[in-house]
Structure 1
Amino acid sequence: MSIRTIAILSALLWLAACVGPAGVAQSAPESSALVAGPPGIAGTVRDSRGEPAQGAVVYAYRSARAGLRGPADFAAPVDAEGRYFLDLVEGRYHLVARRRASGEDAGPPRPGDAWAPHPQNPLEVRPGFTTRADFRLLAITQPMIMKEGTLTSGDTGFSGVVRDARGRPVSGALVLAYRDRNFQRMPDHTAPATGEDGVFTLYLPQGGTYCLVVRTRTRGQPAAGELYAVLGEGAEACREARRGEIRDLGEIIVRPYGR
């Protein structure tokens, strides 16, 4: 057994030490924690119930410009214990974990899949250390489009929770940002789809005034019955985002379009 293999196994054992009996997470180190070992990123991936997400894959991208879509620069499978290890050189990487219901290892997100970008993207890899990064997968209930205007990290933007008229969180909703009130074109920026808790964070590259739409599809005119919402009529549909601040918009209630 090579020295490098032993080092990788040591890193995975370190991860296992952070998980208690029956896969219950204990007081694990923060995602930014480092442990002496081979350079790379290691951690656990769990589903929405907290169970190991066997069959998932963790992908690493050198850049987030493509919205964490398309062929990744690096990938690592998740084992039966929910653990993975990405063998990487020094640098910064954007990570996303995906588990496809079809069992395929490529293709666009589809309903029934689960995914999660890492909230601390980009993550840094340093020589002589393994970086820890854990994931909790979110279900995808609607086809999702990640375009070039989708950012997965930052310090400027909006946050909130999407609910239906009964107050239930809406999974698979997309929050779209426009520089003006012309909602008939492609949005300038898009938040990743909401998970089962309905929570969203829309990261923006800079401060300014943005007009927001929440919907469960992203192409074409809103369809009858599609869950949809704007923040108000006219100028009330727009909000100011200050640079360096994630502005909390609270609850946004979506209702079937056309009713």
Structure 2
Amino acid sequence: MKIAHFCRSALRLLIVALVAGCAWHTPQQTGDVTEYLTQDGKTGLTGHVYVSDTSNPLAGAYVNVYPDTLSNLLGPSQFISSPTDEQGRYTIENVPPGTYYIVARKRQSGHPTGPLAPGDYYSQNERITAEVRAGKLARVDIPVVPMKAPMFFKKAVTDQRSDTGICGRLVDPQGQPVPGSFAIAYLDDDLKRAPDFASTLTDQQGRFVLYLPDGGEYYLAGRVHAWDMPRPGEPYGIYGSTEPEPLKVEKGSFIEEVEILMTPFSGEYKPGKSRRPAIGSGQEK
């Protein structure tokens, strides 16, 4: 199948982004900056990491700075802080002016990198963005929550580009885009388990590109959060009317203009369960 104009444009932009150090998914909003501080002409970020439920400062956390969402804010970042102090404070200097995604994590192991596990803290679902301005420190206070279940994905979300995949949009019932989310793909219709592949985060128009390693039949869903089953009211959707429908993707081509309707999840939330809800019934399949 011929690649759509959007897919071709997205591929070109992603290649240019890697060369130029920018990205197609550059965040547009900058409302997460509390204030700008002047400190000896330093440029970067500063603030506190705290536990969302208690507002207590979190010591030993690392703050990661990503220029884009190609890796779904997983894996190595462009900048990383030293561990936060007893008051949860961090500062990252020499960050060039620009708009970034900010993520805070604390692993029980004490390591600054590596997979997250139950009991670790992270802020990824907040999708915090900040605009760094020359000669100022952008103050960003970051709430974190404990990881209650293993990471939703069996393996790190891939950001590797290929010549095979699916392009489309995630939309709400009014046809409006659902940004900051992702499409996920399965090799079978068992939607209870962790997905096999995931797209990069959707942009402000709800668009996604899901790269696949090979042709075949894939079942699609749309998600907002990656590490747990949907909560009531959380946008969630599948490709298909009431049951998952497979999409056949030919090797070396893209299926275009796939749309997934995201509606509020009405099923029961079970803490610590990374299982899929039943389709249409609101119960587990």
Cα deviation, residue 55, structure 1 = 0.8
Q: Quick one: which amino acid aligns to residue 78 of structure 2?
A: D
Kindly indicate whether residue 157 of structure 2 is the aligned counterpart of residue 147 of structure 1: yes
Amino acid at match of 1:206: R
Higher normalized contact order (CA 8 Å, seq sep 6+, divided by chain length):
2
- Within the alignment, does 1:125 sit opposite 2:135 as a pair? no
TM-score normalised to structure 1 length: 0.55
CA distance in 2, matches of 1:100, 1:181: 31
Aligned to 2:60: 55
How many Å separate the matches in 2 of 1:127 and 1:251?
46
Aligned length: 188
Q: Does 1:136 align with 2:143?
A: yes
With normalisation by structure 2, the TM-score equals: 0.50
Residue in structure 2 matched with residue 212 of structure 1 by the alignment: 221
- Deviation string 1:153-179 (CA, Å, 9 cap, x unpaired) is xxx8579xxxxxxxxxxxxxxx97347
Q: Over aligned residues, Cα RMSD in angstroms?
A: 4.5
Distance (whole Å) between structure 1 residues aligned to residue 136 and residue 226 of structure 2: 42
- 1:127 CA displacement: 0.7
**8 Å contact 1:231–1:237 — kept in the other structure?**
no
**Could you say which residue in structure 1 is the equivalent of 2:75?**
70
Does the residue aligned with 1:251 lie in a helix, a strand or coil? Answer: coil
Give the match for residue 186 of structure 1: 196
Note the 1:216-255 alignment, pairs <5 A: 235-237=241-243, 249-253=264-268
- Rounded to whole Å, the distance in 1 between the matches of 2:55 and 2:110 is 20
Instruction: Give the residue type in structure 2 aligned to 1:41.
Output: L
Work out the CA distance in 1 between the residues paired with 2:268 and 2:238: 11
Secondary structure (helix, strand or coil) at the match of 1:41 reads: strand
Match of 2:118 among 93, 111, 116: 111
Alpha-carbon contact 1:143-1:217 (below 8 Å) kept? no
- Between the aligned partners of 1:39 and 1:118, the Cα distance in structure 2 is 26
Paired with 2:205 and 2:77, the residues of 1 have a C-alpha distance of 23
Asked if the contact 2:64–2:77 (Cα under 8 Å) also holds between the matched residues in 1, the reply is: yes
Distance 2:66 2:43 in 1: 16
CA distance in 1, matches of 2:129, 2:230: 31
- 1:84 aligns with 90
Asked whether the equivalents of residues 109 and 143 of structure 1 are also in contact (C-alpha less than 8 Å), the reply is yes
AA of the residue aligned to 2:91:
F
Distance in 1, Cα, partners of 2:124 & 2:230: 24
2:28 is aligned to: none
- SS state of the match for residue 70, structure 2? coil
How many Å apart are 1:109 and its aligned residue?
0.7
Residue 34 of structure 1 corresponds to: 36
Q: Give 5+ residue unaligned stretches, structure 2.
A: 1-30, 160-168, 173-180, 210-218, 245-257, 277-283
Taking the aligned partners of 2:92 and 2:241, their CA distance within structure 1 comes to 47
Letter in 2 for 1:140: M
User: SS at the partner of 2:241?
Assistant: helix
Q: Given that residues 213 and 228 in structure 1 are in contact (C-alpha distance below 8 angstroms), is that contact kept between their aligned partners in structure 2?
A: no
Ranges in structure 1 where 5+ consecutive residues have no aligned partner: 1-28, 150-155, 160-174, 192-200, 219-225
In the superposition, relative to structure 1, how do residues 158 and 183 fare at CA in structure 2: closer, same or farther (>3 Å)?
Answer: farther
Q: In structure 1, how many angstroms separate the alpha carbons of the residues matched to 2:238 and 2:74?
A: 32
CA distance in 1, matches of 2:187, 2:203: 17
Do the aligned residues in 1 keep the contact of 2:47 with 2:140 (CA within 8 Å)?
yes
Residue identity in the other structure for 2:105:
R
Q: Partner of 1:22 in structure 2? A: none
Contact 1:142 1:217 in 2 (8 A): no
